[in-house]
Amino acid sequence: MPELPEVETVKNELLPHVIGRCVTDIDLIWDGIVRFPSVEEFRSRLLGQTITELTRRGKYLIFGLTSGDLLIIHLKISGSLLLRPASTQNERFIRAILFLDNETGIFFRDPRKFGMMRLVEDANSIVAKLGPEPLEPDFTPEVLAQRLANRTAPIKALLLDQTRIAGIGNMYADEALFAARIHSLRLGKSLSLEEIERLHRAIQQVLWAGINNKGASVDSYFRPNGTQGTAHFEFQVAHRRGQTCPVCGTPLQRILVRNRGTYLCPNCQPEP
Ligand SMILES: [Zn+2]
């Protein structure tokens, strides 16, 4: 599932190709991918608009348009945005194509059909409830401590809660907790200040590594040019089923935390 580093990579790599480009045609192969407004209104309001801006907030991509409308895309579980020549033959799993005025198109590939597009006047209806951006300077250890204070949920679940911190998903939560040597089932309120500082550092470190490696392609994530990211090759615990801890050699464990598959080292991350 694309998380902050994957969505940031998509944004960075689309940016130079889409800014100043006009949407000349829209092919909705599966129109369920448009969640708001109606398909007809989506089409008529988007057609002919020039893309003036592309930003990321949490796991959302936000395209600014000349009309002032915003096209908001969420890749959810299995989405990718591929930048291809407009003449590319349609293939399986392409749900929508936004054609641009430079003979290219943004091809929304989404095998599992959870991805979505919305066209709105104000992004706040969607992104205002998100927690702070973990790579912004205002995300300090104090802010993290505040977000975890008095919480009786497992730390892993708190990290996945987008209203608490934006952009972290299953893979990078496991990686951050391993890097900080904190067990995923520790309660938020049980973390010491020193552990929170360690976790804060670990979150930023694993997210930056993910971005520098252009995201992790453990399942169906592709970069806009169709290649895979390499961040998963550096994962220490996430998705390393049946392997041993790279630090101490103990067999890694897979447990469920609120129904999410969770990888950890039972020796480096002592049980609560
Ligand atoms: Zn270990």
pLDDT digit of tens for each residue in the chain (272 aa)?
Answer: 899 999 999 999 999 999 999 999 999 999 999 999 999 999 999 999 999 999 999 999 999 999 999 999 999 999 999 999 999 987 899 999 999 999 999 999 999 999 999 999 999 989 999 999 999 999 999 999 999 999 999 999 999 999 999 999 999 999 999 999 999 999 999 999 999 999 999 999 999 999 999 999 988 899 999 999 999 999 999 999 999 999 999 999 999 999 999 999 999 999 99
Task: Determine the pLDDT at residue 98.
Answer: 98
Q: Which of 62, 32, 260 is nearest to 168 (CA)?
A: 260
Q: How far is ligand 1, taken at its centre, from the CA of residue 179, in Å?
A: 10
* Cβ count near 32 (within 10 Å): 12
Catalytic residue among 21, 59, 147, 156: 59
Residues near 58 by beta carbon (within 8 Å), at least 6 away in sequence? 4, 7, 127, 130, 131, 133, 162, 166, 167
What sections of the chain are H helices per DSSP?
A: 4-18, 39-46, 124-127, 141-148, 155-160, 170-179, 193-212
- Whole-number Å distance, alpha carbon 168 to ligand 1 midpoint, is 22
The residues, ordered by sequence, that sit 6+ positions from 79 with a Cβ below 8 Å of its Cβ are 2, 73, 108, 109, 110, 114, 115
Q: Which residue has the tokens 């919480």?
A: 151
pTM across the whole model: 0.97
On whether the CB atoms of residues 261 and 170 are closer than 8 A, the answer is yes
Give bridge partners of residue 228 from the DSSP assignment.
Answer: none
Looking at residue 160, the DSSP 8-state letter turns out to be H
- Measuring CA to CA, how many Å separate 220 from each of 31, 53, 254? 21, 26, 22
Whether 2 sits among the annotated catalytic residues: the reply is: yes
- For residue 117, how far is its CA from the centre of ligand 1 (angstroms)? 41
Rounded Cα distance, 103 and 86, in Å: 5
Task: Confirm whether 260 is a catalytic residue.
Answer: yes
Q: Give the Å distance between the CA of 160 and the centre of ligand 1.
A: 23
Distance CA 169, CA 2 (A): 8
Q: Which of 113, 141, 260, 266 is catalytic?
A: 260
The C-alpha atoms of residue 119 and residue 131 are separated, in whole angstroms, by 22
Measured CA to CA, the distance from residue 95 to residue 107 in angstroms comes to 8
User: CA-CA distance, 210 to 22, in Å (whole number)?
Assistant: 31
Where do the DSSP E strands lie in the chain? 23-28, 34-36, 51-57, 60-65, 70-74, 80-85, 94-100, 104-109, 116-120, 253-257, 260-264
Distances (CA, A) of 166 to 173, 200, 224: 12, 14, 22
Identify the active-site residue in 2, 132, 134, 154. Answer: 2
pLDDT at 125: 87
Query: How far does the centroid of ligand 1 lie from the alpha carbon of residue 249, in Å?
Result: 6
Distance 267 CA to ligand 1 centre (A): 5
pLDDT of residue 219: 82
Residues facing residue 255 across a β-bridge: 262
